[in-house]
Structure 1
């Protein structure tokens, strides 16, 4: 059902790096120095096969598979309070890119088992990244695996692959020598028409594209990945000292405006288009409601690395 390679972890020694970007979107600023300690990280995004093992072992029912509580949705018709999730649904032609509802659909019955809703299955995509996982689902898997979700700083350090300040996980050119380096949107006609150059309409099997300098695959594109950090509208930094293993331990003051808190997701997805969402970069970050899985959001885990013995 799965290839053992998808379980591989890579141990990283940690180090100090320049986190963020001031050349793209405002939420990525300011660029600031950060230190992370040693850790190990999944070489691949968690696959459907690996997630299925977790579900079989624990009986976990994902958020997308649970009935909705009427108390959380006052006034909503009872027939709408059924399990489901958000699925990318390409429109028939060009749309106003300011309105995401034109290519996202709440679909009854959509879950990690049925990524496009009833009638779809993971039987032919065990090595694709699991999707439709809310934050609690990803965190529960990580706990079961003896791991946790990465901090945003750990994730970005890993994604950069040792390339200080580069725009992409592989360097500064979107397509070095014309080569497609990640599973992102093909062509200028997002979200209605893809050129199909990548060979994948949605997710790709993990490891389908080149690894970065640390041997990590799909740190750009394929699916967005959960981190353990709460969303902040800009990086929190005091501008003087280099934080060690920082994490946003409390809610951003801006978060009370949201009914549902947000965590940071990283890495972009197969829906990142240069003409719309240039976020398949290490510095890129988005806010994701903790109770909402989507057809382009997954995760990977990190583990502690024992500190070396002192001599």
Structure 2
């Protein structure tokens, strides 16, 4: 399948929106956390059992000892049973503070290994921190939680970049969730259209998100009935328009950091982040394709 880059109402692709281009530059930096062996090893040493327990606990740690219902709602695309196998059990092995501290330490080591040697990240850290600090966190619980994470004053700029990128991507992600819901998509249906747009292999999403084949097939039937997919599981014209509308709304809801930076500083941040993102993808530190749908910017 080809990737969906449908033109918006202004005649341009939604991928050309500065909020989208900033995400494309910073998402691989954040996403290293999901692929770096340092992070998985740290979760195991903290006492967590299995990769997905580390994933759910690590991403949710700033929220405290939270349960599966709230995490499932915020993470959106995962089957409830998948989340419930990790939470709240994770907190019996390690506290949220212990999980967060071990995760940040592991991310710092992973970045030191994976980013280009000698890269000066100070300016990018400053720009992204300013952007993240400008976010309105109303109805954005995951981003709000990560915005409360404090690093030591002597933290390396690479970790400052990662944390600010994390706040910004979760801010965008929270907005993406409620605009998908507003467009009538639940987490599974959103994943099915994600796969139908060619952004991630459907078979991989089905397994990694914990859905059964029966549940996936039911979502396909529902989307075919709505005219979003054709009988072969491809996006229809209406389906392409639906996804474009979701992405355009996501861009609009993620625009506050761009406005806070201003046009020139926003373009500077994108220009500084993009080579780092390309390096991580080109060296396969962040593999493509992946369930996130992030590609080489």
Task: Give yes or no for TM over 0.5.
Answer: no
Normalization by structure 1: what TM-score? Answer: 0.24
Normalization by structure 2: what TM-score? Answer: 0.25
Give the structure, 1 or 2, with the largest relative contact order (CA under 8 Å, sep 6 or more). 2
Q: Which has the higher strand share?
A: 1
